[in-house]
Amino acid sequence: MIGLDEFKRRINARGGYMQLNGIEVTELSPGYCEARAPMGPDKTNPHGMAHGGYLFTLCDTAAGIAASTLGRKVVGRTASIHFLRPGGGTCFTAKGRVIQSGRHMVLGRVDVFDDQRQLVATADVEMFYLEGEPEG
């Protein structure tokens, strides 16, 4: 397996959904991922606050990458998100961590904070491990 610094570089360099949404991994350690995402007018719901789907995307991303730091690829199975207050400001930080890792599944928990360090949402994300090559 590659080192976490190289893993972070590769994750941030890959195109796709993370770049489309401006999500950047800022910190990694085994079983942990911190990611940041910008807030802007293209990320809002009709009420002008952060769209729940955008916050869910950030949770799913942080949980999946946290689980992948353990050396295996994962895909989502189920998720539950709790929106605690309207999201606003200029950016969000998601802190995802592995709660339980088994033979076939892994459970992650994510807390999302706004730029005032207020807890905006929390999520539990259950993922399947994929067979085959380690992540990286």
The pLDDT value recorded for residue 132 is 61
The pLDDT value recorded for residue 110 is 98
Residue 79 CB contacts under 8 Å (≥ 6 apart), including other chains: 56, 59, 60, 63, 123, 124, 125, 126
How does DSSP assign 16-30, residue by residue?
SHHHHTT-EEEEEET
Tens digit of each residue's pLDDT (9 = 90 or more) over 48-106? 999 999 999 999 999 999 999 999 999 999 999 999 999 999 999 999 999 999 999 99
Q: Tell whether the model's pLDDT for residue 15 goes beyond 80.
A: no
By the 10 Å C-beta count (0-12 exposed, 13-18 middle, 19+ buried), 99 is classed as middle
The pLDDT value recorded for residue 42 is 94
User: Is the separation of the CB atoms in 107 and 99 below 8 Å?
Assistant: yes
The ranges assigned to domains in the chain are: 4-129
Which CATH superfamily includes the segment(s) 4-129?
Hotdog Thioesterase (3.10.129.10)
